[in-house]
Amino acid sequence: MAHQTQLRNAGATALQIVASWALPIGIVVEWEIASRSGVISTRLLPAPSAVAAAFWENLRNGTLLTHAAISTERALKGLAIGGGIGFILGVLAGISRPAETVFDSSMQMLRNVPHLAMIPLVILWFGIGEEAKIFLVAVGTAFPIYLNTFHGIRTVDVRLIEMARVYGLGPLALFWRVILPGALPSILVGLRFSLGIMWLTLIVAETISASSGIGYMTMNAREFLQTDIVVLGIIVYALLGKLADALTRLIETRALAWHPAYQPAATREAVP
Amino acid sequence: MRDAASALRLHEGAVFQETDTAPHDATTLREVVPRKQEARTANGKAVQLNGLSKSFGNRRVLSKLDLAIPAGQLLAIVGRSGCGKSTLLRLIAGLDQPSAGTISIGDARVQSLQSNVRLLFQDARLLPWHRVLGNVGIARANGWRESAMAALADVGLADRANDWPAVLSGGQSQRVALARALVSRPGVLLLDEPFGALDALTRMEMHRLLERIWREHGFTTVLITHDVAEAVALADRVIVIRDGAIALDIPVDLPRPRREAADTSAVALQARILEEV
């Protein structure tokens, strides 16, 4: 009886997997047929097989990895600077009312400026070097982390803070053992938002001015009508984005292991 | 004198543990008591309140309260909700400052939070991101693992040390909270209706556990409750607070260990207290 249910469950999961992949695979197949039969001009959109061939070719001669590495480095540098500033300001504003008065209204105002609108100014300031791209990424990623850190700290259960004071925790211990862990779920949400903005900003910045990176690779390919490389660049961005998201999920499951939502179903059901 | 009396009590306690153990706590009660007997140092601190008043804005919650709690006494404070009993507890804990009057614990005046006073809240308030052991040793004092483990064994939860608080039941959470309060061997333990949210059976278990631990450790205990039966079952003395003042101060001179509403004198006491609430 139980075995049958198990089998049925496994069958349902397999069916779910097939169903969720049916649409994208179907589209790719249609696309390939349309390209081969000439319905879609390969000058506008290359066949999937051509993209795959370009992927293999660029992977083998190393250009893809070089460009991807440079793009990733810029993205992470920008995130470290912007996210770090956002985190520190968020913590300050979260734990101290005077700091909130000083920072918060300014941050809320700046947050509403689309940071890509600053591109002309950034080019004037930094030229078209590395600094410009890293600066733009930093500006874009600072705000989600600031907001979510601030919000996370403000929503830590005050009863837990009171308890910690009764049990003799000093300010530092209170921060590390109560406030920061309590705010962490919210901070990680901010990080995921920031990762999305990070790639978006980098794509735009690299498309405008760069001599390396995935954005440069695609813009360069456009000039030579190498549509397969352009599509490949888009796919690489998607993969990098997905990879970053998977990494945060991993961090979440490790750092929030205490959270009922991240515990395996078996232990959760054991609660009376 | 106090020591002799408590030693006698403790002896009775040991007999009780062997002959009359509750089915739920049977193993834990038996294994812990003998070890604790010699470790016990009667470290209860006397609590003295003089002319204590507290107002929030124009609302006077406590007015000129005088109360002396001898070291090691288990005092229950009974009153309707909003009578000021929780405020009184927060003042003794040093969480709030009185509007007038003084509080002394032992020989020292209470100005702020005290390291030898521990407070048990109505909700367990465990940190969900620390495991049970980490919650018990929350102050991370030297050798906290050992003392936290000993305290957990004391409340019968040694086997749950590595669990997350999220998987504990309400009664278990309160037992962990009790262990957390015991780690630092407090002179005064304050309990703010800690059993109010538990079911009747778990509550009776918790009463037995608290009574046993109080007899072993000898700390002064102030228990706030709205349950008169609970007050009579546990306390040496019951006071009733009404309109911010003490309306009744009555000793509960029943032999220990007690069983809930077991005899007529307990019932008579309950009726007497209920009249005043």
- pLDDT tens digit sequence for A126-161: 887 889 999 999 999 999 999 999 999 999 999 999
Residue B19 has pLDDT above 70, yes or no: no
CATH number at residue B48: 3.40.50.300
| Cβ-based neighbours of B192, under 8 Å, separated by 6 or more | B86, B89, B119, B120, B121, B122, B224
Q: Point out the least confidently predicted range of A30-39, A229-238, B107-116, B206-215.
A: B107-116
- DSSP conformational letter for B23: T
The answer to whether position B34 is within a domain reads no
DSSP 3-state of A96: coil
The answer to whether position B2 is within a domain reads no
Q: What is the pLDDT of residue A2?
A: 56
- For residues B91 and B72, membership in a common domain is answered with yes
Q: Is B188 exposed, middle or buried (0-12, 13-18, 19+ CB in 10 A)?
A: buried
Q: What is the pLDDT of residue B34?
A: 41
- How many domains is chain B partitioned into structurally? 2
Q: B-chain residues within 8 Å CB-CB of A267?
A: 167
What is the separation of C-alpha B94 from the centre of its chain, rounded to a whole number of angstroms? 17
Query: Rounded to a whole number, what is the distance in Å from the CA of A152 to chain B's nearest CA?
Result: 15
- For residues B210 and B260, membership in a common domain is answered with yes
Q: A-chain residues within 8 Å CB-CB of B128?
A: 258-259
User: Could B121 and A272 be called an inter-chain contact, meaning their C-beta atoms sit closer than 8 Å?
Assistant: no
- For residues B170 and B264, membership in a common domain is answered with no
Domain boundary among B155, B184, B213: B184
The answer to whether position B31 is within a domain reads no
DSSP 3-state of B56: strand
Averaged pLDDT, B144-166: 91
Rounded percentage of chain A residues whose pLDDT exceeds 70: 94
List the B245-251 sheet strands across, edge first: B117-120, B188-192, B220-225, B74-78, B237-242, B245-251
- For residues B190 and B63, membership in a common domain is answered with yes
Alpha carbons B77 and B224: distance in angstroms, whole number: 5
User: Could A163 and B115 be called an inter-chain contact, meaning their C-beta atoms sit closer than 8 Å?
Assistant: no
Nearest CA in chain B to A170: B139
The answer to whether position B28 is within a domain reads no
Domain boundary among B184, B200, B222: B184
Phi, psi torsion values for A150, nearest 5 degrees: -55, -50
DSSP string of B207-274, one letter each residue: HHHHHHHHHHH--EEEEEES-HHHHHHH-SEEEEEETTEEEEEEE---PSSP-TT-SHHHHHHHHHHH
Residue B38 has pLDDT above 70, yes or no: no
Q: What is the pLDDT of residue A265?
A: 54
Q: B-chain residues within 8 Å CB-CB of A259?
A: 128-129, 166
Averaged pLDDT, B37-53: 72
Q: H-helix or E-strand containing A22?
A: helix A2-36
Q: What is the pLDDT of residue A159?
A: 93
Averaged pLDDT score across all residues of chain A: 88
The answer to whether position B221 is within a domain reads yes
Q: A-chain residues within 8 Å CB-CB of B129?
A: 181-182, 184, 256, 258-259
Query: Rounded to a whole number, what is the distance in Å from the CA of B4 to chain A's nearest CA?
Result: 32
- For residues B98 and B58, membership in a common domain is answered with yes
Q: Is A185 on the interface with B (CB under 8 A)?
A: no
- DSSP conformational letter for B81: T
User: Could A163 and B139 be called an inter-chain contact, meaning their C-beta atoms sit closer than 8 Å?
Assistant: no
The domain of B230 spans 43-116+186-276
- For residues B135 and B270, membership in a common domain is answered with no
Summarised one tens digit per residue, pLDDT across range A97-116 is 999 998 889 998 988 889 99
Q: A-chain residues within 8 Å CB-CB of B164?
A: 257-258, 263
Residue A79 has pLDDT above 50, yes or no: yes
User: Could B95 and A165 be called an inter-chain contact, meaning their C-beta atoms sit closer than 8 Å?
Assistant: yes
Q: Do A41 and A35 touch, CB atoms closer than 8 A?
A: no
Averaged pLDDT score across all residues of chain B: 81
Residue B63 has pLDDT above 50, yes or no: yes
Q: A-chain residues within 8 Å CB-CB of B166?
A: 258-260, 263, 271
Q: Where are the alpha helices (DSSP H) in chain B?
A: 2-19, 26-39, 85-93, 132-136, 144-154, 170-182, 200-217, 228-234, 264-276
- For residues B136 and B243, membership in a common domain is answered with no
Phi, psi torsion values for A106, nearest 5 degrees: -65, -45
How far from A14 is each of A21, A24, A44, A212, B146, CA to CA, in Å?
Answer: 11, 17, 37, 42, 49
Instruction: Report the largest interatomic distance among the alpha carbons of chain A, rounded to a whole angstrom.
Output: 76
User: Could B164 and A258 be called an inter-chain contact, meaning their C-beta atoms sit closer than 8 Å?
Assistant: yes
Q: What is the pLDDT of residue A71?
A: 92
What length is written for chain B?
A: 277
Q: Which residue has the higher pLDDT, B208 or B277?
A: B208
- For residues B94 and B202, membership in a common domain is answered with yes
Alpha carbons A42 and B59: distance in angstroms, whole number: 82
Averaged pLDDT, B107-112: 82
- For residues B57 and B180, membership in a common domain is answered with no
If we measure between CA atoms, which residue out of B174, B165, B179, B25 comes closest to residue A267? Answer: B165
Domains and CATH numbers, chain A: 47-254 (1.10.3720.10)
Tokens of B36: 């604790």
Nearest CA in chain A to B125: A160
Alpha carbons A208 and A118: distance in angstroms, whole number: 13
Q: Is A174 on the interface with B (CB under 8 A)?
A: no
Residue B40 has pLDDT above 50, yes or no: no
- Contacting A with CB below 8 Å, chain B residues are 93, 95, 113, 115, 118-119, 121, 123, 125, 127-131, 138-140, 164-167, 169, 180, 184
| Cβ-based neighbours of B153, under 8 Å, separated by 6 or more | B28, B31, B32
How far from B224 is each of B106, B121, B228, CA to CA, in Å?
Answer: 21, 10, 10
Q: What is the pLDDT of residue B7?
A: 42
- For residues B246 and B266, membership in a common domain is answered with yes
Q: Is the ipTM of this complex over 0.90?
A: no
Alpha carbons B46 and B69: distance in angstroms, whole number: 6
Q: Do A53 and A226 touch, CB atoms closer than 8 A?
A: no
Q: Is A264 on the interface with B (CB under 8 A)?
A: no
Q: Do A35 and A42 touch, CB atoms closer than 8 A?
A: yes
The answer to whether position B17 is within a domain reads no
CB atoms within 10 A of CB A12: 10
Given pLDDT bands bounded at 50, 70 and 90, which one contains residue A5?
low
Nearest CA in chain A to B91: A166
How far from A96 is each of A104, A105, A108, A146, B64, CA to CA, in Å?
Answer: 11, 14, 17, 14, 36
The answer to whether position B25 is within a domain reads no
Given pLDDT bands bounded at 50, 70 and 90, which one contains residue B112?
confident
Residue B42 has pLDDT above 70, yes or no: no
Q: Which residue has the higher pLDDT, A33 or B5?
A: A33
The answer to whether position B163 is within a domain reads yes
Averaged pLDDT, B175-189: 92
Summarised one tens digit per residue, pLDDT across range A202-242 is 988 888 877 889 989 998 888 888 889 999 998 898 888 88
- For residues B190 and B268, membership in a common domain is answered with yes
User: Could A177 and B138 be called an inter-chain contact, meaning their C-beta atoms sit closer than 8 Å?
Assistant: yes
Q: Do B75 and B222 touch, CB atoms closer than 8 A?
A: yes
DSSP 3-state of B120: strand
- For residues B166 and B240, membership in a common domain is answered with no
Alpha carbons A25 and B51: distance in angstroms, whole number: 81
Q: Which residue has the higher pLDDT, B8 or A34?
A: A34
Given pLDDT bands bounded at 50, 70 and 90, which one contains residue B29?
very low
